[in-house]
Amino acid sequence: MFIRKIVLSILLFSSLSFSADFPVTLYDDVGLSATILKAPKRIISMAPSNTEILFALGLGGRVVGVSSFCDFPAAAKKKEKVGDFMSPNIEKILLLKPDLVLAGGGIQKDLAIKLSAMGIPTLTLYPKNINEVLMDVVLVGRAAGKETEALLYIEKLKARIEKVKSEAGRINKKPRVYFEIWSQPFTTAGKGSFVEELITLAGGVNIFAETEKTFPEISGEEIIKRDPEIIITAYMEKKGKMKKEVLKRSGWGCINAVKEERVYDGIDSDILLRSGPRLVDGLEALSGIFLQEKKTKK
């Protein structure tokens, strides 16, 4: 796994390319390996982020099965379903005769081991930050014989990230941000989350950055005490519907963000919470909010 990261890091931050020859043995994010004999034609994705990578690399036509949560792009919804993230249907996976399976997260490591034992090449993607997401794009590209496309794609993503970082450098006073994922109980993004990284890169300060849990539950009193200047909500079912609710919460009238109505509820939660290439879209969305606030305060 360590060697894999070194090799992929070199590819990410240089103009090098590498051979598309098969067979190839690759190492994934949980330390398992898969030997792929030839460019796969029947791919199954067990996580939405993996599916987004496949389609971004022009591999949608090779995808024969996806998890029930895979809903982007729209074409992914039409693919055969092979169970959800927690309960994959191994029988259905076998019926589709894949020559490559992309599992997701540490929770699917056991699935990857079972499928590998059955002779099905399986790679588990479990990135912890944006750089590792880019590395996984390269990994998928290599596994599918699309390494050139993968390298070109991540160069574009890297350029967009660098642009946001440059713009963030011009924000003199970084706004204190409270990011809300749920309200019963209040749940936010803490240390080690993609959201924490995105807020920081975009020029903000996550008021719960020091919490050890990735998505900690916190009290309303603690939110009030920390007095955020900006509140951002990311609900799967309530996009564009949370601002009024937040502004009416009992006791929240003393919060700076509420007093000045700096509450944003229009960002698609998927581009902030899914560990795929659209995290760069989420980064740009946050950047847009922080830059807008900078202009408003002038």
Nearest to 257 by CA among 214, 226, 217: 226
What confidence score (pLDDT) does residue 2 get?
47
* Residues contacting residue 20 through CB under 8 Å, at least 6 positions apart: 39, 145, 147, 148
For the CA atoms of 46, 50, 54, 55, the dihedral, rounded to the nearest 10 degrees, stands at 100
> Residue with structure tokens 């090098």?
16
Token couple for 66: 């996806």
At the second CATH level, the architecture of 2-161 is 3-Layer(aba) Sandwich (3.40)
Token couple for 74: 């729209």
The CATH topology of domain 169-297 is: Rossmann fold (3.40.50)
Residue type, 294: K
pLDDT digits (tens, 9 = 90+) for 110-160: 999 999 999 999 999 999 999 999 999 999 999 999 999 999 999 999 999
What confidence score (pLDDT) does residue 3 get?
46
Judged by phi (left if over 0) then psi (alpha if -120 to 50, else beta), residue 83 lies in left
pLDDT digits (tens, 9 = 90+) for 208-233: 999 989 999 999 999 999 999 999 99
What confidence score (pLDDT) does residue 298 get?
54
State the pairing for strand pair 122-125/100-104. parallel
What confidence score (pLDDT) does residue 5 get?
53
Q: Could you say which residues of the chain have pLDDT below 70?
A: 1-20, 238, 294-298
Going across the sheet that includes 80-81, the strands are 80-81, 63-66, 43-45, 100-104, 122-125
Domain spans, the chain: 2-161, 169-297
What confidence score (pLDDT) does residue 14 get?
44
Q: Would the CATH topology of 2-161 be identical to that of 169-297?
A: yes
